[in-house]
């Protein structure tokens, strides 16, 4: 039986850490190892980890950020496969069994699966991510500049030798976070990926209720576009130097453009909204019209919703922005 590691990278998440570890230890797949890498936490995380004794491999390191924690964990891995579980997320008991069933059927570099969205208290919201399923050959899409639909970090299982073609990733300067970006998109350049079309875990979203446009834990809405551009530039260098693959200078991704769209239009004045749509919306509209993962119905619906941002009634405009940006806002409408 092939062995799998669930690697949990933690920093000051003592409130959630035990639930993540418990979900990893509860896997029905018997050849599952659990590694917890603590990135210099200053809360009670160490005490929680020590409670588990030899049931987990506990690794303590100086604080260096998420990229540093991934680099450290990948260097220590002794199994052929790994799932990187965020310390505030959980896996369902059959998660490893399901992904290993897929790995056994092909030479996949990555197997991804859906995650049910939880609120900050761990209560299911009824939403899940992602909503689109990419093709197996995502390298072709990346070489054309398109980021493919992927779940957040916890929804991905990797072949370790594929990860080691991408990692270690530079840790210097502002590149402390976003390790999952390099894992998700970098590994797709090394071989095909597969999708399990059902939820195998829970993704915790903090402070992202249906009345906000935020739907990300790691970065503020206004900082996300700049961070993604920086990571793409670093991934381009890695792909060229290690894989001899040439990626284009810029990438296309609706989630990225959506962040720019929201930061410019949410709570903006009527004239400002019109000016942005006329002068600066080209990339945003292109990721809708040319999106290779969306149906015509979804494209038309998103265009109609986007046009509502131009109406002079700001409550309707802000509602349209929230509906486009935040899946929890959509669940609220559906449940009325």
- The DSSP code for 252 is B
Tell me, what's the pLDDT at 313?
A: 94
Q: In the predicted model, what is the mean pLDDT of residues 75-88?
A: 98
In this structure, of 182-186, 210-214, 232-236, 257-261, the range with the lowest mean pLDDT score is 210-214
Q: Would you place residue 334 in the very low, low, confident or very high pLDDT band (cuts 50, 70, 90)? A: very low
Domain that holds residue 278: 254-334
Residue 319 lies in a domain: yes
Per the structure block, which two tokens stand in for 56?
Answer: 């987990």
Question: Nearest CA to 149 among 128, 167, 160, 135?
Answer: 135
Do both 323 and 174 map to the same domain? no
In this structure, of 209-213, 285-289, 314-318, 322-326, the range with the lowest mean pLDDT score is 209-213
Domain count, the chain: 2
Instruction: Give per-residue pLDDT as tens, 121-155.
Output: 999 988 899 988 899 999 999 999 999 999 999 99
- Does residue 54 register a pLDDT over 90? yes
Question: Nearest CA to 293 among 141, 144, 75?
Answer: 141
Q: Which of 150, 184, 212 is the last residue of a domain?
A: 212
Q: In the predicted model, what is the mean pLDDT of residues 86-110?
A: 97
Tell me, what's the pLDDT at 224?
A: 63
- The DSSP code for 149 is P
Instruction: Give per-residue pLDDT as tens, 176-209.
Output: 889 999 999 999 999 999 999 999 999 998 876 6
Average of per-residue pLDDT values in the chain: 92
On the CB side of 138, how many CA atoms lie within 13 Å of its CA? Answer: 26
Residue 170 lies in a domain: yes
Rounded to the nearest 5°, which phi and psi values hold at 289? Answer: -65, -40
Separation CA 264–CA 282 (nearest Å): 14
Whole-prediction pTM value? 0.92
Residue 97 lies in a domain: yes
- Residues ≥6 apart with Cβ < 8 Å to 210: 322, 326, 328, 329, 331, 332
Q: Which of 178, 212, 246 is the last residue of a domain?
A: 212
Q: Would you place residue 213 in the very low, low, confident or very high pLDDT band (cuts 50, 70, 90)? A: low
Instruction: Give per-residue pLDDT as tens, 252-278.
Output: 999 889 988 988 999 999 999 999 999
């Amino acid at each position: 039986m092939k062995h799998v590691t669930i690697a949990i990278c933690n920093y000051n998440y003592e409130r959630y850490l035990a639930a993540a570890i418990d979900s990893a230890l509860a896997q029905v797949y018997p050849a599952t190892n659990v590694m917890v890498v603590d990135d210099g936490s200053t809360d009670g995380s160490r005490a929680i980890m020590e409670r588990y004794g030899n049931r987990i491999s506990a690794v303590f390191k100086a604080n260096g950020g998420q990229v540093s924690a991934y680099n450290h964990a990948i260097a220590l891995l002794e199994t052929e496969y790994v799932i990187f579980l965020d310390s505030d997320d959980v896996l369902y008991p059959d998660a490893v069994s399901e992904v290993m069933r897929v790995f056994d059927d092909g030479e996949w570099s990555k197997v991804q699966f859906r995650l049910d969205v939880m609120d900050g208290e761990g209560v299911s919201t009824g939403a899940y991510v992602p909503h689109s399923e990419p093709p197996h050959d995502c390298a072709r899409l990346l070489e054309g500049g398109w980021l493919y639909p992927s779940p957040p970090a916890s929804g991905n299982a990797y072949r370790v030798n594929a990860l080691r073609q991408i990692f270690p990733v530079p840790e210097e300067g502002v590149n402390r976070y976003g390790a999952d970006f390099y894992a998700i998109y970098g590994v797709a350049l090394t071989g095909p990926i597969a999708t399990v079309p059902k939820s195998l875990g829970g993704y915790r979203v903090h402070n992202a209720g249906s009345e906000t446009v935020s739907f990300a834990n790691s970065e503020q809405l206004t900082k996300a576009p700049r961070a993604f551009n920086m990571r793409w530039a670093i991934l381009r260098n890695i792909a060229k130097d290690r894989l001899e693959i040439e990626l284009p200078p810029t990438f296309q991704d609706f989630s990225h453009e959506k962040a720019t769209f929201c930061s410019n239009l949410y709570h903006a004045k009527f004239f400002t909204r019109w000016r942005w749509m006329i002068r600066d919306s080209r990339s945003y509209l292109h990721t809708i019209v040319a999106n290779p993962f969306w149906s015509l119905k979804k494209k038309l619906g998103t265009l109609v919703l986007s046009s509502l941002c131009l109406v002079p009634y700001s409550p309707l405009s802000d509602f349209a922005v929230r509906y486009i940006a935040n899946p929890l806002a959509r669940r609220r409408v559906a449940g009325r």
